[in-house]
Structure 1
Amino acid sequence: MRYTHLGRTALQISGICLGTLNLGVRADEPESYAILDTAVDYGINFVDTANQYGWQKYKGFSEEFLGSWFAQGGGRREKTVLATKVGNPMSEWPNESGLSARHIIASCEASLRRLGTDWIDLYQMHHIDRHAPWPEVWQAMETLTQQGKVRYVGSSNFAGWHIAEAQESAERRNFLGLVSEQSVYNLVTRHIELEVIPACVRYGVAVLPWSPLHGGLLSGVLRKLSEDRAMKSGQGRAAEAMELHRDAIAAYEKLCAEIDAEPAEVGLAWVMSRPGVTAPVVGPRSVEQLDSAVRAMDLRLSDDVLKRLDALFPPVGKGGPGPEAWAW
């Protein structure tokens, strides 16, 4: 396993982050425990969840499930760099969502109880809250770090200017501020190349791409559909994009066959090769899918293949960061 630092911090994380969205939900309990244990065997030490995950059963389920795995002992918690999130609605009641100081602190306490742990390594804001002033947000995060309940703070789904605004506010308080940003990023969705990645590079913020296979669209979906085994790749995010990108996906799967590589591994290898990317968040539903993600770490795409992928899935505008992407 390759390790890297989480942004500008000294914390070492694996080059793959294990997402838990499917564990105990799309994957049954025995398979989910096997995925987690196999990840440890591979040396994956970075695990991501959120207070809202598991909503298909009830909000908070995923944290509880992860807590049950930690409770099995064997150093599971100590070996894990644990990330969770705050901000999305936990109920329809007022103050049960967003980034108010009240909600941040109360949600952290609730996550700690569900996870059965004393600390969260990376506490991420799940979405920008346009009503929460940065002094309020940072005051709450400072309280949690001073209490030892949170080690680092990250963001998710922020725009580039949000990252800049947050970081400038934190620096005025002599606070470390953001150390990571979790954004959707894959061959189909490349918007963060314009401003989010440049902002992260400028401020030393790790980029953690979520949905690196666009919900399964880049995992060989056409072949799976023909074999009647598409499952998630025939639903949700992937299904919505299927008709728009069908020709490109067909050409993509043909290219993968030419280089004798699995589409899922090519898609992950491409994300891992991108400038500024620290570790993609993968959400396997089986040990076999986790095995595939680990194999992708050793897949090197040639310059010719990268150019062909760019032709199939062009970057936004002229490519690269703004303003050059749209101006001279």
Structure 2
Amino acid sequence: MKQFIYDRPTQVRDALTLMSQNDRAQYLAGGTNLVDLMKSELEGPSRLVDVRHLPLQGIHETHDGGLFIGATTTNSDVAAHAEVRSRYPALSQAILAGASGQLRNMATVGGNLLQRTRCNYFADRSEPCNKRAPGSGCAAVTGEHHNHAILEWSDHCMATNPSDMAVPLAAFDAVVHYETLGGTHDIALSEFYPPVGDTPQRETLLPPGALITGVTLPTSAESPRSRYRKVRERASYAFANVSVAAALDVREGSVDSVRIAFGGVASRPWRALTAEAVLQDQPATASMFRAAVDAELSAARPLEHNRYKVALARNLAETVLTGLVEQTV
């Protein structure tokens, strides 16, 4: 094992200061992703700043009726929380679909948002990967890419974002809170992950050394009639081929409000704004749902091995939205 410094601060300011003293330092929370990467020598931090003892745990209502989730709150606690289950059920469902119970007991909200891609080429140091070694190339473009992106990918990278939790957070207009030595900051989840472009190694817009302190779900996005569904290659503990989080309200047979986000199709959770615009005030029918998702996926650029994802995303969204119509009756 390579040696590293281990720190366990109890105040956010102290954690930020420790990070600023070492450009190879990393935060450690549940460690369900980082420790694996260290074991395989894909990550080699010289300092670990353990954030589990910072006052960043818990879930509470905000002053305007939204829901704040602290960054070190475990995935299990979020999924089981009564307010999450009743007001944002798709979030609870996504977390339960995301990993084994043991991992959910350790993994944290902040860490979930920062987990690295599960692309096989990223994990294989014998192959080129621009995320792991910028400028080396992307083996997936001409190699095996059946579970890679169909939207917004580039010749530099076509890996997908692995987070289940981030998909409903995108649908619910979540806001990420973070701190730096310069103060506190907020960023909408829709802007948290940048397009892959020619810098796939930059996976979030967090400045160096920044610490995620929590996530807020706004009351305006509260969606008791919401659902998350995921298609994967085995029944348990597998990353999504395609997933969808959707919320739907129907009034007199027409769509009154709708929220849709996809996972497994891009380098970030994909908010289906085009599909939402097409559906607004239109009949809440299966054919309308298909047409809306087809409009969203008109920008898709699938390759030979992942072409199936276009039909899969359409069928999955139609099934989820149709189920929500039945739920609203």
Normalised to the residue count of structure 1, the TM-score between the two structures is 0.28
Q: Which has a greater percent of strand?
A: 2
Q: Which has a greater percent of helix?
A: 1
